[in-house]
């Protein structure tokens, strides 16, 4: 299993909570533990944060934990990810523009850049959430690890109920990228970049946003790819390859 723990940072806003619909799909199809996290800047704010999370826990599922941490938001999210086995961080984004911190939001950009674990970005302001668009996972390969990326993408597709149909794209300039995203339930950017934000990830986010599509986008770095390679191949169907 590629994912065992799903971390969902929440800031108390309705916009951030919109990512929970995707999380419910993830945990509804497998025994994944969910960690709802609220980071506060002082111990005095902890009680209110605990009360807020207690009300949200029931919206997700039985294997859900509420965690309140004190400190800098991105740093505490990354610290929790480092404490858990096989984590996936799910972050809601609602920025705009082309520059990373503007497109993603400050906290999301910091987490994506520094995380050594997979991070999934969920657009929370797009008008078209799309639902299931036919069971397609678009995998943008920006490195050498193609097979482990396919295995990981297929397993996430299974969690989301989109099956094992993976469309592999070999570069961000692939002319079919935009149309592929219109039919995608999930986009995965596999990169050799351990730290930093791949330009390809921003390209995918921008392409989806232009089309007003709420397509979840996952950054899959070398640590996760190595773990996927070690776990062995799953039975997947690759429906296309561009490049």
What are the backbone dihedrals phi and psi of residue 104, each rounded to the nearest 5 degrees, phi first?
Answer: -95, -30
Per-chain mean pLDDT for the chain: 80
Indicate if 137-242 has the same CATH topology as 5-123.
yes
Domain map (residue ranges) of the chain: 5-123, 137-242
Specify the CATH number of the domain 5-123: 3.40.50.620
Pick the closest to residue 241 from 164, 180, 193 (CA basis). 180
Return the higher-pLDDT residue of 98 and 179.
Answer: 179
Mean pLDDT, residues 45-55 taken together? 95
The pLDDT value given to residue 232: 58
List the structure tokens of 99: 């520059």
| Integer CA distances (angstroms), 4 to 32, 38, 118, 122, in order | 5, 20, 12, 19
What strand order describes the sheet that includes 119-123? 64-70, 33-40, 5-9, 87-93, 119-123, 217-220, 186-191, 137-142, 165-169, 237-242
Q: What is the pLDDT of residues 88-143, one digit of tens each?
A: 999 987 655 444 454 567 888 899 999 999 999 887 655 445 455 566 888 888 87
Return the higher-pLDDT residue of 16 and 118.
Answer: 118
Return the higher-pLDDT residue of 103 and 159.
Answer: 159
The pLDDT value given to residue 243: 46
d(C-alpha 205, C-alpha 216), whole Å? 9
pTM above 0.85, yes or no: yes
Q: Give the DSSP letter of residue 66.
A: E
What pLDDT band is residue 26 in, cutting at 50, 70 and 90? confident
Lowest mean pLDDT among 65-74, 135-144, 185-194, 228-237: 228-237
Q: Say if domain 137-242 classifies as CATH 3.40.1000.
A: no
């Amino acid at each position: 299993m590629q994912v065992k723990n799903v971390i969902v940072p929440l800031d108390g806003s309705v916009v951030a909570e919109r990512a929970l619909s995707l999380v419910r799909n993830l945990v509804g199809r497998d025994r994944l533990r969910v960690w709802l996290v609220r980071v506060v800047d002082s111990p005095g704010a902890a009680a209110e944060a605990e009360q807020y999370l207690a009300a949200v826990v029931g919206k997700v599922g039985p294997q859900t934990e509420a965690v309140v941490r004190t400190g800098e938001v991105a740093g505490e999210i990354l610290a929790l990810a480092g404490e858990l086995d096989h984590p996936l961080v799910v972050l809601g984004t609602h920025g705009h523009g082309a520059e990373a911190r503007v497109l993603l939001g400050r906290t999301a950009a910091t987490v994506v850049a520094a995380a050594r674990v997979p991070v999934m970005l969920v657009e929370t302001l797009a008008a078209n959430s799309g639902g299931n668009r036919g069971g397609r996972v678009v995998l943008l390969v920006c490195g050498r690890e193609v097979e482990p990326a396919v295995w990981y993408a297929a397993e996430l597709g299974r969690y989301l109920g989109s099956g094992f149909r993976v469309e592999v794209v070999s570069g961000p300039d692939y002319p079919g990228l935009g149309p592929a995203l219109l039919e995608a339930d999930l986009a995965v950017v596999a990169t050799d970049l351990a730290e930093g934000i791949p330009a390809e990830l921003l390209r995918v986010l921008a392409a989806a946003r232009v089309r007003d599509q709420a397509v979840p986008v996952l950054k899959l770095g070398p640590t996760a790819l190595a773990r996927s390679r070690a776990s062995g191949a799953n039975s997947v169907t690759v429906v296309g390859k561009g490049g």
